[in-house]
Amino acid sequence: MDTKPVKKGELLVKKDSPIENLWYIADGTIVMDSGISKITLKKGDFIGLADFDTGIHSYTYYATSDSQIMSFSTLENLYNTAFYSAKSENCRALVLALNHMLRDSYSQLATLCEASEKLSVLVKYTYSKYCEYTRELHASVESMDAMEDAPDAIAMTVNQKMLYMMHKGAYNMLAVKESSAGLISGGIVPGYMLHAVSDLHEVSRAIDYVHGVVDECLDLMMSESEDDLYGRLGDIAIRATADHPLYPDITGLMNGLNEAVSAYTPDVAETRRLIYERRASSISVDRNGDDESSADNSVASKLVGSLNTIIEFCNYPAENATKLKEAVAAFKKVSDPFSSDDEVRRIRQVIEENFYTLYVCVLEARLQAVDVPVIIKMFLDFGYLDEELCGIRNACALYDICRTYCGDKKKGVYTASEWLTAVFTNEKNPSINEFEQSFEEYVKEQVTNGRIPSAKAGAIIKDRAQMVMFEMQNMFRRTSKICSGQILAFMPILCDYQMMRGVKDDLIDPHIITEAIERIKAIDYSLFYRETMVVFSEKENLHDVVHVEVLPDIILMPVAGTRGAMWQEISGRDRTTPARMMFPVICVENLEKIVIKVLGEFRWEMCKRMQGMRWNDVTDPSLTSLYCDYLQFYRKNSEVSAEQKEKIKIGLQRYKQNFKEYFVNDYSEYIRYESSGSPHLNKIARSILYAQCPFAAPIRNKLADNPIYSEVSERYRVKVGQQLHKLDNVQKKLASRGQPIPRELKSEIDFYNM
């Protein structure tokens, strides 16, 4: 056998490459790396033996020391019984090497299962304590959607334990030459080899799965986005301050998470610890500074009696003002603002009704005023009403911010007051109501029902003040509740307990939300493109469907909250008009996750709009029809494994058989994980999303060599190639006739090259 020297660090074999022959390790150490697990091979082991049945390497091999390897055999010999009977030492070496890989793999699986149990218990316990402590602090519990899918502990199955014992027993017999001679001469080696390599593949898949569970637990503890248990606990620790009785318990949980994560990724744990300590120190300095200067702070003095200032600005009716003041005073005495007690619910209801009548009154006065006080802007754009409920530190910070705070109309981002002003000035039409009626349709229905005289209908339809009232009573109130995330305990007034980190940290600046949308567009490039018919040349009678991008209108609702709202996918009947999406102006949840969910809803609703009555007809393939078909008939789908079917079943139960909600969750996984090559979806879901919501070219190119994307990537490449070929023919035809190339045609070619 020829000997080949190998240097430390040298790459020997790449994963997914064909096996040309087996290599015997004569000296040194070689690591076989699946990307998840690693096995160190030593003298007597073989490179390629782990995949002799498939002929394709499922591991990458590299040297961790200077080594010597020798060409041993072709794969064909391993299927030749004469090869085994000719050289008994070859048999023994092969069996021992394969047995070594198996025992090492089962040992890794056992360790991972034990880790999954500890981490799963820690995650669930920590989350339950986070919810408990947050309620005790009378703060809003920020939902963690990922906790709904928090993984359970994975234990080794009985079969896995028995196979582990069997292979350990086989080693005890094979390791001794005398006891192994009879086994080898008896001819059981070829059969053992086939069973052993099959077991190795099976345990490798199990390792991948349990490793994913461990990673998921670690991600819930500490993630790159910092939207995790450690971050949530840090928020309430800062809120509680060091002298609070709960502070030691909260920081104790944080230390437990840090210790658990340190065992796997010490750099991440240390970085997060330092980030928290710096932030806690910074906020402590801010608090002390505010306390020292609050007595003579000019801003604080301006904010005293904010409720009276707002009421006086618009001459709000005295009777309503009294009701609102009494309800606000009563709410300040409530120990639990989320209470479902009848009296607390009544107080919240009185506040809500009078808050919005006051809002309309203030808005009318603001539209006529030349100079608008900052406190009025705070009320209209942030829901600020009372300095005590908001907290004087938050109120002062908001006062400074509000002087210059505004939307970005060029990018379609509006504050609440800017949006309502745009409706009043005829720049924008009112949104639809919850029954999907436009303002005009609503007025006509009122005439039909006898609530409005037909003679007045024409004037009302043109009355901009009535349009603003319609917007306030429908979209505005409804989406404020949705964005707050507190439907049952909704409070429209900005309160201290609604914010976890304070105004400065939780406030959404228009550029922050546009940047978040741009990041998602960089993944799902066709997100806002609509199909519309254009004529390339009337003379040549050339026309086709092209894609045009229509960016949405974003409205920042004056609430602190945890959710977004996709209110309508188009404005009116024109399919190339902007969608309308709402987000809380003070966001106490991970903004990127909220935006992804809203855009997932938009994807679904836009497809339904474009497909019309055939939105769930699979004979006309579309995002909605394909997903409905997939979720309706997944039990009969042979391409979905039993484990995946169970996962789909649980998901559908969680989303109450709502296919749209299920899709939105999958879309979130697709954008957050699949786009970086981390598989979180099954083959069917991935293929639908890749075809209907394709990745941008840089991501497609990066994933093209990944086996799980190769098939869908090739299908998409062929589809795009056909479209570009058709457009190229149109372009050539126009050029040959001396016709100019339309801008729409050039744009469509650019679209398919994105």
Q: What is the DSSP string of 4-56?
A: EEE-TT-EEE-TTPBP--EEEEEES-EEEE-SS-EEEE-TT-EESGGGTTTSB
pLDDT at 403 over 90: no
Q: What is the pLDDT of residue 291?
A: 46
**Which tops the pLDDT comparison, 749 or 278?**
749
Q: What is the pLDDT of residue 517?
A: 95
Per-residue confidence at 292, pLDDT binned at 50, 70, 90? very low
Q: What is d(CA 668, CA 599) in angstroms, rounded to the nearest whole number? A: 9
Greatest mean pLDDT range, 47-61, 445-459, 593-607: 593-607
Per-residue confidence at 296, pLDDT binned at 50, 70, 90? very low
Per-residue confidence at 285, pLDDT binned at 50, 70, 90? low
pLDDT at 39 over 80: yes
Q: What is the pLDDT of residue 158?
A: 79
pLDDT at 574 over 90: no
User: Under DSSP, is residue 11 helix (H, G, I), strand (E, B) or coil?
Assistant: strand
Q: What is the tens place of the pLDDT at every residue in 623-647?
A: 999 999 999 999 999 998 888 898 8
Per-residue confidence at 295, pLDDT binned at 50, 70, 90? very low
Q: What is the tens place of the pLDDT at every residue in 86-127?
A: 666 777 788 888 888 998 989 899 999 999 999 999 999 999
Whether the CB-CB separation of 140 and 177 falls below 8 Å is answered with: no
Whether the CB-CB separation of 489 and 559 falls below 8 Å is answered with: no
Place of tokens 């938009």: 602
- pTM score above 0.75: no
Q: What is the pLDDT of residue 668?
A: 94
pLDDT at 460 over 80: yes
Sign of CA dihedral 248, 253, 257, 263: positive
Q: What is the tens place of the pLDDT at every residue in 156-205?
A: 877 888 888 887 777 766 666 655 555 555 567 777 888 888 888 888 88
Q: What is d(CA 255, CA 250) in angstroms, rounded to the nearest whole number? A: 9
Q: What is d(CA 222, CA 645) in angstroms, rounded to the nearest whole number? A: 29
pLDDT at 379 over 80: yes
683: nearest Cα among 655, 707, 719, 664: 707
Encoding tokens for residue 640? 């979905």
Q: What is the pLDDT of residue 172?
A: 66
pLDDT at 416 over 90: yes
Q: What is the tens place of the pLDDT at every residue in 331-374?
A: 999 888 888 899 999 999 999 999 999 999 999 999 888 889 99
Q: What is the pLDDT of residue 257?
A: 93
Q: What is d(CA 145, CA 651) in angstroms, rounded to the nearest whole number? A: 13
Q: What percent of the chain has pLDDT over 70?
A: 93
Whether the CB-CB separation of 447 and 440 falls below 8 Å is answered with: no
Q: What is d(CA 230, CA 315) in angstroms, rounded to the nearest whole number? A: 48
Mean pLDDT of 432-444: 90
Compute the mean pLDDT over every residue in the chain, rounded to the nearest whole number: 87
pLDDT at 705 over 60: yes
Q: What is the tens place of the pLDDT at every residue in 252-283?
A: 999 999 999 999 888 888 888 888 887 777 66
Provide the CB-side half-sphere exposure for 663 (13 A, CA).
Answer: 26
